[in-house]
Amino acid sequence: MMISWDTAIYCLIGHPISKSLSPIIHNNYFNLIGKNNIYLTFDVEEEDLEMVVNTLKILNIKGFNVTLPHKIKIMEYLDEIDSAAKMIGAVNTVKNENGKLIGYNTDGIGFLKSLEMLKINIENKTALILGSGGAANAISTSLAIAGAKKIFINNRSLSKAKILAEKIKKQFPEIIVDYGGLELNNICKDEIDIVINCTSVGMFPNIDETPIKFDGFSKELIVYDVIYKPRKTKFLQLAEDRGYFAVGGLSMLINQALCSQNIWLNDEHNNINENFYKIEGILKSHVE
């Protein structure tokens, strides 16, 4: 692409970021819509975060994404935080509005959008979330906002599962929330409508691992894995072998990125459904 004095700069900050697919998504998106924009990546250590954020503001960077380990700490250095991001307690998208840095979170929105594209309605459904980290936090909050009836949060660390479960219950007292370990001793499996793996178990290169088995679940179970590399984790393969409807993490990855674009560009160009399939086609060779 041609870079000129009026090229708008967007970027990703995190550590590490060398394997990120975000530049592929965003730069191809800018190319699709004919925008003179560029998306870069900056590997930022935790001790440098405040200095980097101030520098991005001075340089008039138009917007940036935030990945691990900065999604929570970044909130200290922003001028304003969107209400949904406050509820989640983490920011992954920042927009520079005339020198004012505003934080958003598109992880949960991207997840719900991927369900919407598959015509999956989560209202009054019972969800089992595996994990209690950033993705579990955003997804459990979004499920509650979308009207889920019951949410189970099960994690290797019971104390962390309890913290997230109590947070969701406090924010949404009308929803039944429970927690437990990955043995799943606290749930009746046949009442679960959707299982979402928000752990890193099964991620490349540990592709032969899976967080749980699928004994005892309903035949109508939906299985979702936020991991996108490999595209078909062992978790998803086991689900498909049982005949369950299985969804990989690439859909959420693309949708949360396109939702970031909506924030940065004020919905000016982004038809998410149309652009999703174009970006998905470009990404497939990178995540097999």
- Catalytic positions are 71
Separation in Å, CA 62 to CA 6, 30, 43, 104, 274: 12, 14, 18, 14, 24
Q: Confirm if 38 and 9 have CB atoms less than 8 A apart.
A: yes
Residue environment code for 122-141, b if the CB has 16+ CB neighbours within 10 A, otherwise e: beebbbbbbbbbbbbbbbbb
Give the E-state strand segments of 163-279 in sequence order.
Answer: 176-180, 194-197, 222-225, 245-247
d(CA 105, CA 87): 10
d(CA 280, CA 202): 21
